[in-house]
Amino acid sequence: MYEDCRIHQALTDLEDPELPADVCRCPQFCPIDNAMSVFEGKWNVKVLYVLFVFGRLRFGELQKHIDGISKTMLSSTLKMLEEKGLVTREQFNEIPPHVEYALTEGGEALQPVFVQIARWSSRYLKR
């Protein structure tokens, strides 16, 4: 059954030693389904992209770069991305105390994804 899956075939063809052999177990588990939980929703990709572009940011700085996001939504988005292992939260116990957010290694690994999205957009989307 999973032999017909284009994702399974592409991952198998990669012969990447870092990919577990059972990374794709269609239809029970597909890595695309797992990733979609990060890419779906209005704010997740925007938060990741802003952290990718600007690097380590305080909460307020991050909010300024994302038009229309509320503090509550930014907070819950950051918490989810942190739980997924894509964002780190570092608290500084100084006067005044502050928190900074940054991408983890997994978040930084999205660079080729953002580059490919930019290439695709430039080629296929109308302005």
Q: What is the pLDDT of residue 126?
A: 84
- From CA 127, how far away is CA 78, in angstroms rounded? 30
Torsion of CA 39, 45, 48, 49, to 10 degrees: 130
> pLDDT (tens digit, 9 = 90+) per residue, 39-86?
888 999 999 999 999 999 999 999 999 999 999 999 999 999 999 999
Tell me which residue of 88, 100, 103, 91 sits closest to 49, measured CA to CA.
Answer: 103
In percent, the amount of the chain with pLDDT more than 70 equals: 84
pTM above 0.75, yes or no: yes
Per-residue pLDDT, averaged over 92-121, amounts to 93
- From CA 53, how far away is CA 111, in angstroms rounded? 10
Q: How is the beta sheet containing 87-92 ordered, strand by strand?
A: 57-58, 98-103, 87-92
Q: What is the pLDDT of residue 32?
A: 77
DSSP β-bridge partners for residue 25: 29
Give 30's pLDDT tier (boundaries 50, 70, 90).
confident
Higher-confidence residue of 116 and 23: namely 116
